[in-house]
Amino acid sequence: MLQFFEQARKHLENDAIVHDGVIYKYEQLIATSQKYSGILLNGSSDLNEARVAFMVHPGFDYVKILWSIWLSGGVAVPLCITHPLPSLEYVLDDTQSSLLVISKEFKEVLATYLQTANIRVIVIEDVNEERIAFPASLPQIEKQRNALILYTSGTTNKPKGVVTTHINIEAQISTLIHAWEWTSNDRITCVLPLHHVHGIINVVGCSLWAGATCYFTAGFSPKLIFNLIEQGKLNVFMAVPTIYYKLIAYIETLTMDEQNTLRECLKKFRLMVCGSAALPVTVMDKWAHISGHLLLERYGMTELGMAISNPYHGDRKAGYVGIPLPGVQIMLADENYVQVVDQIPGEILVKGDNVFKEYWQRPEATQATFTKDGWFKTGDIAVIENGYYRIMGRQSVDIIKSGGYKISALEIEEVLRTNEMIHDCAVVGIDDDEWGELIVAAIVLKDAFSNDFNEKKLSDWIVNYIASYKKPRRYLVMNDLPRNAMGKVVKNDIKKMFVLK
């Protein structure tokens, strides 16, 4: 039996999930997941790594579907619940998913796709749980099997599916359980999207592995989060810099008495973590003043979970992501993949059971991202200073880290160029305290629209084709884009133009 399931069996009477005030015990989560496995199997003995996509709101239903996919031998493909249809279709088609599990409210979003797709669809609300029988047997799952495909934007214009095995997932979770000292007494709320590694592994995966309690609320709301905190229901919190920025902004609207009450509640937490994007020192300092906690910064990515972390005990240094996690090998290397010495910047290379297996159906991309001796090339540049790693940025300016997401500028450019107004464009990220990086676009208009540019119209248009968090927040109209002698757009020059604007 898979390790996550064995862990859950140790805590049958504990509260596993609290969703909008409804409590679900581990015993209930286990039983429901097993029952749903029977539905997914549909008479077969093993899904044999068939891809099962699911579009379900965060909460109890999400977890039971994820677990049932794994118990029945399938590969989980979580879909983003806010993505437009083209983005969803891309993932469904790329993974060749044969089964789709959805909440009923997403039937309309996917209606056009489902009219022609050859895919079995299960609507959660159409299943009568009381009438579901336990399957006669569940398959034996070897840990080297594929377990999960998450999509991440790379330097190409199409997202790539990152394939992780059960071995990878167990390594990612167990490492954090040890490093951050998770116990069954912990209580956390999930405020992160569950089609990304941060929410799936760091929050939901770790809390349920430890026998802890994970709270879910209907959407992100600072007020709801602080209500849970004031009621003493949480003692662990994990988020991206953008969320901490929003929480700080909300706190500043409260009266001094309300702030003082909240400050006393926050001091009782045992752990607060920030990651997925660089944390501005100003935000870290403000949060420390408000909460009494110096946020624990860490470094990770879809392909490897977490690799580097500031210590749970010991000094946490602002602007640094810490030291390698137990069981994870890290090397900083030059352009020839030769290790560099301390104080010299190098690309972060990673080895360990936590590192993903492959990019889905992209053998050339997989081969290109590993060195000949098996190191994964992250594309991130760092330097070691006094034993701590400091991230200096991406090798490529085509990856933008905004609001906890890694976003491909090339993907956005491809969509922008399909607009009737735009002749050419270049998308970049500029430093921003709230978002980490703000997505902005320099555009060259077609002659017919040179005097008739409507920024709001363009902004409203683009969210029909890409996720809203990927849309540019500012535009700069130019006569031409700056290029080098080879004709390549010089994006650093464009960044400077936005800063000066």
Residue that wins the pLDDT comparison between 203 and 401: 203
Q: 211's torsion region: left (phi>0), alpha (psi -120 to 50) or beta?
A: left
Give me the phi and psi of 355, to 5 degrees please: -75, 135
Residue that wins the pLDDT comparison between 275 and 309: 309
Average pLDDT for residues 381-410, to the nearest whole number?
A: 84
State the Cα–Cα distance between residues 392 and 295, nearest whole angstrom.
19
Locus of tokens 């891309």: 90
- Residue 401: pLDDT band (50, 70, 90) is confident
Contact in structure between 62 and 200 (CB atoms under 8 Å): no
Contact in structure between 236 and 364 (CB atoms under 8 Å): no
pLDDT of residue 384: 96
Locus of tokens 């400091």: 390
pTM of this structure: 0.85
Q: Which run of H or of E encompasses 147?
A: strand 146-152
pLDDT of residue 155: 39
State the Cα–Cα distance between residues 88 and 97, nearest whole angstrom.
12
Locus of tokens 């248009």: 461
- Nearest in space to 440 (alpha carbons), one of 464, 407, 394, 418: 407
Structure tokens at 425: 């464009």
User: How buried is residue 377: exposed, middle or buried, by Cβ count under 10 Å (0-12/13-18/19+)?
Assistant: middle
SS3 annotation, 52-89? EEEECCCCHHHHHHHHHHHHCCCEEEECCCCCCHHHHH
Per DSSP, the three-state class of 97 is coil
Average pLDDT for residues 115-129, to the nearest whole number?
A: 89
97-110 pLDDT per residue, tens: 999 999 999 999 99
Structure tokens at 2: 């898979």
Alpha helices in 438-486 (DSSP H): 455-462
Structure tokens at 397: 């300016």
- Residue 486: pLDDT band (50, 70, 90) is very low
User: How buried is residue 423: exposed, middle or buried, by Cβ count under 10 Å (0-12/13-18/19+)?
Assistant: middle
431-440 pLDDT per residue, tens: 998 999 999 9
Alpha helices in 255-353 (DSSP H): 256-266, 281-291
Count the neighbouring beta carbons within 10 Å of the beta carbon of residue 248.
18
Residues of the chain with pLDDT > 90, as a percent, come to: 74
Locus of tokens 């007494």: 185
- Residue 157: pLDDT band (50, 70, 90) is low
Cα 97 to chain centroid, rounded: 21
What kind of fold does domain 3-128+141-210 have according to CATH?
Rossmann fold (3.40.50)
> Domain residue spans in the chain?
3-128+141-210, 399-500
Residue that wins the pLDDT comparison between 173 and 413: 173
- Residue 501: pLDDT band (50, 70, 90) is low
> Same CATH fold, 399-500 and 3-128+141-210?
no
Per DSSP, the three-state class of 284 is helix
pLDDT score of 398 more than 90: no
What kind of fold does domain 399-500 have according to CATH?
GMP Synthetase; Chain A, domain 3 (3.30.300)
Residues of the chain with pLDDT > 70, as a percent, come to: 97
State the Cα–Cα distance between residues 501 and 499, nearest whole angstrom.
6
pLDDT of residue 500: 73
Structure tokens at 259: 């702030």
159-205 pLDDT per residue, tens: 899 999 999 999 999 999 999 999 999 999 999 999 999 999 999 99
286-300 pLDDT per residue, tens: 999 999 999 999 999
145-156 pLDDT per residue, tens: 999 999 985 434
Per DSSP, the three-state class of 377 is strand
pLDDT of residue 241: 85
Contact in structure between 287 and 318 (CB atoms under 8 Å): no
* Average pLDDT value over all residues in the chain: 92
Which residues, listed in sequence order, are joined to residue 18 by a DSSP beta bridge?
23, 215
Average pLDDT for residues 77-94, to the nearest whole number?
A: 94
Per DSSP, the three-state class of 194 is coil
